Structure 1
């Protein structure tokens, strides 16, 4: 059976670092001193230093009232900014003339939609042939990075000559709303914008994708939700998520995820950094060493949570570091669902 490999990953973020700007803005929205102090403490503990946005500052796009910016205006901004960011990520792969050999193009996004869409811009600007088979994985949330890799894996296994380009682009900063609800503002604290492009072929370089496993956690459907509202897309990210993940990732579950192997046999952990508490919960549940999630914590600190692109950033960091051994990737999203992938360095 043909093995599919992640040959290369390129990442891109917008030029505007808005993390400190958002923290200052959010701090000013709370009328109760108690909430303000709690938000400040949580922001200090979030282990995020940078998050990047398609616009220079909160005020430059939202003005004085984010709730006055409707979904149509946010989607117009997505159409303006998302294609260029996706193209930058693809260009970072350095495909050159080899772009003409791409047979399949998969686009992942859950933060904006329009058509003709990002796939058309990639074909037009990056040299990908218009004959490439195109698929969009939409609105699945943060775990969609794994779903995109899974789809590429299946394509290459069924068509060994295929050269699959997977592109994730997310503009999470387009969906901020003004509220004095502490849990909601803390969810906005972690999200940023980013894009990643992945080349998947049967060429045995990079990371070999071994198997995939989906895990749906019982009685957790409402802990992460993502719906289209009148003022952008409405996110619910419950503070109960870390505890639910910690309880779900027990020994029996991990035996299934790891195809019967022991947790101790995994050298590399590419865990989606949905937030510091998520990483802490996974680290504790799996009894990992303090440095096991180095790549995940690096991505969280420097980029925040970029929805479907984030786990691809983590895998890119591992490739850049030259990490070796067997690995397990995990990403979490609505449902509450965990998508996992076993891999090894070629």
Structure 2
């Protein structure tokens, strides 16, 4: 119960998730492999790809294997020598992003308009359109068009935390607020044609997915606590996401896991309130909702914070089954925690974390009720 005069506590009451129809992990692996002309490069790529800990990735783009082993796609956007322009990829984003978001919303509530939604927060970094996704979703779901709208755009993988932070503040300031938080990413639209092995390995991680969450002051689900962002000095260019003529180009430096592990090891050794652990130790948290950015990222978090292997099982499971869906990924992890809770478990403290351009970490504390 809320103490009179104290700010309301925001709760994620429920989360809906959605994936596109095509599991393309194996086929895209073949498509990427065919970009490499050198035997040594192909060998390096295949060796590293096997260590990705990913079994499935989903896309609206259907990959088609030919008899000669080459791979094409249903939209013709990955044709060797003529990968699609950014304009063409944005056409597909405008067609598919609303559909995937609507699937997630329907999973949350098949008649969301009856939920009295007052605010809509949409996070996406893989496309742009106007009217925006927020307006399209309000119109197509029948949500009251007077609902306040916010787009969290082009922030990358940690946008999920920023979207939740916004919902957290909205509920704290307006306890009657009912916030729909949507994350939708079509990462596979941005596959690049290159023979640089490190770039191809980075692209191997990414997948498409969407989530929809209802955040209110009703004390059920996941209670959200304080949010805190931390940037690692001198790491600005380790993760970049830039718009080119043939889609959005991702750069993921091999130093990222090392820098994350080092930074978290320092944070673990701190015992003051200014650290990201807020003066607590990792042992004080029962649950870890960590963005599944890749096997090496999760390994770095586990190593830096000295977590037991089972701590990141929800994140590793999402990575294995879905790949890295950018901002939607963390919400898939939280959805898995909600689904796994059992009556009688009691309140369980948790810590949420996601990484992205900066190099920065966005963090929050939560309790699974």
TM-score by length of 2: 0.91
C-alpha displacement of 1:60: 2.1
Return closer, same or farther for 1:205/1:95 CA change in 2, 3 Å cut-off: farther
Of the three residues 218, 228, 252, the one matched with 1:213 is 228
C-alpha displacement of 1:27: 1.5
The 2-side partners of 1:321 and 1:100 are apart by 24
Deviates more, 1:4-13 or 1:87-96: 87-96
The 1-side partners of 2:150 and 2:32 are apart by 37
Residue 292 of structure 1 aligns to a residue in which SS?
A: helix
State the match for 1:327 in structure 2. 350
C-alpha displacement of 1:196: 0.4
Q: Does 1:337 align with 2:352?
A: no
Deviates more, 1:270-279 or 1:256-265: 256-265
State the match for 2:66 in structure 1. none
Where does 1:161-240 land on structure 2 (aligned, <5 Å)? 161-240=176-255
The 1-side partners of 2:266 and 2:350 are apart by 17
Where does 1:224-263 land on structure 2 (aligned, <5 Å)? 224-252=239-267, 255=271, 256-263=275-282
Q: How many residues end up aligned between the 2 structures?
A: 346
Q: Which runs of 5+ in 2 are unaligned?
A: 1-6, 64-71
The 1-side partners of 2:217 and 2:166 are apart by 14
- Residue 207 of structure 1 contacts residue 344 of structure 1 at CA under 8 Å; is this kept in 2? yes
Displacement over 6 Å in runs of 4+: none
C-alpha displacement of 1:41: 1.1
C-alpha displacement of 1:295: 0.6
Residue 138 of structure 2 aligns to a residue in which SS?
A: helix
Q: Deviations over 1:155-204 (max 9, x none)?
A: 00000000000001100001011111000000110000000001000000
- Residue 226 of structure 1 contacts residue 233 of structure 1 at CA under 8 Å; is this kept in 2? yes
Of the three residues 126, 135, 143, the one matched with 1:128 is 143
- Residue 45 of structure 2 contacts residue 197 of structure 2 at CA under 8 Å; is this kept in 1? yes
Q: Does 1:268 align with 2:264?
A: no
C-alpha displacement of 1:117: 2.0
Structure with higher Rg: it is: 2
The 2-side partners of 1:12 and 1:83 are apart by 12
State the match for 1:6 in structure 2. 12
Return closer, same or farther for 1:171/1:283 CA change in 2, 3 Å cut-off: same
Q: Which runs of 5+ in 1 are unaligned?
A: none
Return closer, same or farther for 1:66/1:54 CA change in 2, 3 Å cut-off: farther
- Residue 100 of structure 1 contacts residue 127 of structure 1 at CA under 8 Å; is this kept in 2? no
The 2-side partners of 1:344 and 1:115 are apart by 37
Deviates more, 1:245-254 or 1:161-170: 245-254
Q: Deviations over 1:204-229 (max 9, x none)?
A: 00000011110100111000001111
Residue 220 of structure 1 aligns to a residue in which SS?
A: coil
The 2-side partners of 1:294 and 1:235 are apart by 27
State the match for 1:313 in structure 2. 332
C-alpha displacement of 1:259: 1.5
Residue 34 of structure 2 aligns to a residue in which SS?
A: helix
C-alpha displacement of 1:68: 3.2
- Residue 208 of structure 1 contacts residue 344 of structure 1 at CA under 8 Å; is this kept in 2? yes
State the match for 1:29 in structure 2. 35
Return closer, same or farther for 1:243/1:322 CA change in 2, 3 Å cut-off: same
Deviates more, 1:200-209 or 1:21-30: 21-30
Q: Deviations over 1:285-322 (max 9, x none)?
A: 11111111111001100110011111011100111111
State the match for 1:287 in structure 2. 306
The 1-side partners of 2:93 and 2:112 are apart by 29
Return closer, same or farther for 1:68/1:24 CA change in 2, 3 Å cut-off: closer
- Residue 12 of structure 2 contacts residue 224 of structure 2 at CA under 8 Å; is this kept in 1? yes
Q: Does 1:142 align with 2:142?
A: no
The 1-side partners of 2:112 and 2:336 are apart by 26
